[in-house]
Amino acid sequence: MAKFRLATLLKLRIRDRDIAAKAVQDVRHAIVKLTDRENEIRTSNREMDEYRMQASHGAVNLHQILDAQRFQMVLSAQLDQIADHQSKLKQELERREFTLLKTQQAVKSLEKLREQRDEAAEIHALAKQQERLDEWASIRHAMSIRLEQETAPQNNHGVTQ
């Protein structure tokens, strides 16, 4: 088989595709981590709500209630930060997925070119093989005719008419 002239370019495009796929995977992993952290904060916030409700029954400890409210304000600020980061990560994910799509298309187009080149090389090889077979068949046919001609006069000499 003939060597694919764009093999090096194909390898580079495959490497680019793999890097882009890894970048997409990294962003998705970061989004999952942020989502997990968001869930943890929401759980802590619910716990603080329950704590404040319990602290408001019976003897009220104003200091504990204020501490819980301050902590909830910090949690709220963290949730806002996480929402901002998630928004940015989702935009980055879209950008990286688009890059991945472009690199996948580049790989596919080069692979298609390689397949077309392979098919053309195979067709060419089959045509050459058929040409050799036709040539060989012509030679055999010519040899058989010559053999018949050489043996035919000998048969005529031995036959009386």
DSSP letter assigned to residue 2: P
Indicate whether 129 belongs to any domain.
Answer: yes
- pLDDT tens-digit profile of 26-41? 999 999 999 999 999 9
31 within 8 A of 90, measured Cβ to Cβ: yes
Indicate whether 1 belongs to any domain.
Answer: no
Total structural domains in the chain? 1
Indicate whether 120 belongs to any domain.
Answer: yes
Is residue 156 pLDDT above 70, yes or no? no
Does residue 49 or residue 77 have the better pLDDT?
A: 77
Which amino acid, 14?
I
- pLDDT tens-digit profile of 103-126? 999 999 999 999 999 999 999 999
Q: Give the three-state DSSP class for 144.
A: helix
User: 80: domain range?
Assistant: 7-158
Instruction: Write down the mean pLDDT value for the chain.
Output: 89
Indicate whether 153 belongs to any domain.
Answer: yes
Indicate whether 108 belongs to any domain.
Answer: yes
**CATH number of the domain residue 142 falls in:** 1.10.287.1700
Indicate whether 2 belongs to any domain.
Answer: no
